């Protein structure tokens, strides 16, 4: 290969790398744009929100303190975290038990039942909203923590995800455990469950984030102010009495930042769990 061709090849590779990185930077800027706007707006006065200037003339740090004076932010935050933690715990327990039954136990009609169970993922949530609400009314769980937690404690997605992990575990482990006298519960709790920790971590992250940011179901279920979750409580800043965009953005920043921190800490486990779950044994 001549030096001219070698130089031309390096130039093309360099140009391709520059274009690729430029495109990635552009996409990153577009992705971060709304988040940066939210942060900047949270430091503006209400009069400055609609102005075209990108930065506030005077940074209004007191907006964050004003959020706590306007609404019971700490209470709403506590409710959101409490409900999300309970739903995450129950989802992991119920989904892992169901996944163990579908992946490791042998019983008649297992695969057919799993297909029907999996088909429930195709049903939109708005379709089951009214039946679930009617059931909560009959069980007297309206306007309660239990009404927020119980309907979300079971899900086909978590069962499917953990089943993918469990079917990749060699059946010899179950046989060895049975020879040693272990029953299904011992096999599940002491052998299978420790091996699917990446899947449990992935499910826990998805469930916590989804429940923490849930809006419509808490809006339907909760009437008492002390039981409201954070997405519902922040509606106070956008009501018929006026729109306090600056305070809404300050509350949103305090709402989102902890989630970003949790995701940044757990992203390795999340990626590893997704990769392992995609491999079917």
Q: At 42, phi and psi to the nearest 5?
A: -65, -15
Residue-wise pLDDT for 43-75, tens only, equals: 888 888 876 667 887 888 898 988 898 889 999
**Residue position matching structure tokens 């920043």:** 253
Phi, psi angles (nearest 5°) of residue 243 = -115, 110
Instruction: Return the closest-CA partner of residue 102 out of 157, 178, 162.
Output: 162
Residue range 248-273: average pLDDT?
A: 78
* Rounded average pLDDT over 251-269: 80
Question: Which H/E stretch holds residue 243?
Answer: strand 242-243
Using CA atoms, how far residue 23 sits from 11, 15, 33, 37, 78, in Å, is: 18, 12, 15, 21, 40
Classify domain 66-277 by CATH number: 1.10.3720.10
- pTM attached to this predicted model: 0.83
**Other beta carbons less than 10 A from residue 87's beta carbon:** 24
Distance between alpha carbon 98 and the CA centroid of its chain, in Å?
A: 21
Reported as a single tens digit per residue, the pLDDT across 120-167 is 888 888 888 888 899 999 999 999 999 999 998 888 888 988 888 888
**pLDDT tens string 91-102:** 999 999 999 999
Task: Output the CA angle 81-263-255, nearest 5 degrees.
Answer: 45
List, in sequence order, every residue forming a beta bridge with 243; answer none if it has no partner. Answer: 238
The terminus-to-terminus CA distance of the chain in angstroms comes to: 46
pLDDT digits (tens, 9 = 90+) for 182-202: 788 888 888 888 888 888 888
pLDDT digits (tens, 9 = 90+) for 222-251: 999 899 999 998 888 877 556 888 888 899
Q: How far apart are CA 6 and CA 8, in angstroms?
A: 5
Residue 155 CB contacts under 8 Å (≥ 6 apart), including other chains? 91, 94, 95, 207
Can you tell me the distance from the alpha carbon of 148 to that of 142, in angstroms, rounded to the nearest whole number?
9
């Amino acid at each position: 290969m001549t030096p001219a061709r070698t130089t031309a090849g390096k130039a093309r590779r360099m140009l391709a790398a520059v274009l690729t990185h430029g495109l990635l930077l552009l996409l990153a800027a577009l992705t971060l744009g709304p988040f940066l706007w939210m942060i900047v707006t949270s430091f503006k006065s209400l009069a400055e929100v609609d102005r075209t200037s990108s930065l506030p003339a005077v940074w209004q740090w007191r907006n964050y303190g004003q959020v706590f004076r306007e609404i019971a932010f700490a209470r709403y935050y506590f409710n959101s975290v409490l409900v999300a933690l309970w739903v995450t715990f129950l989802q992991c327990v119920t989904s892992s038990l169901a996944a163990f039954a579908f992946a490791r136990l042998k019983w008649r009609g297992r695969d057919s039942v799993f297909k029907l169970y999996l088909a429930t993922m195709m049903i939109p949530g708005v379709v089951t909203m009214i039946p679930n609400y009617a059931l909560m009314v009959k069980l007297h769980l309206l306007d309660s923590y239990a009404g927020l937690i119980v309907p979300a404690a079971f899900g086909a997605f978590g069962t499917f995800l953990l089943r993918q992990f469990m079917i990749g575990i060699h059946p010899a482990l179950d046989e060895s455990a049975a020879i040693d006298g272990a029953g299904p519960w011992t096999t599940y709790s002491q052998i299978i469950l420790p091996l699917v920790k990446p899947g449990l971590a992935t499910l826990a992250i998805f469930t916590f984030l989804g429940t923490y940011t849930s809006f419509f179901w808490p809006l339907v279920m909760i009437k008492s102010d002390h039981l409201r979750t954070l997405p519902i409580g922040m509606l106070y800043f956008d009501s018929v009495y006026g729109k306090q965009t600056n305070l809404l953005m300050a509350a949103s920043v305090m709402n989102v930042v902890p989630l970003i921190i949790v995701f940044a800490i757990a992203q390795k486990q999340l990626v590893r769990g997704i990769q392992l779950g995609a491999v079917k044994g």
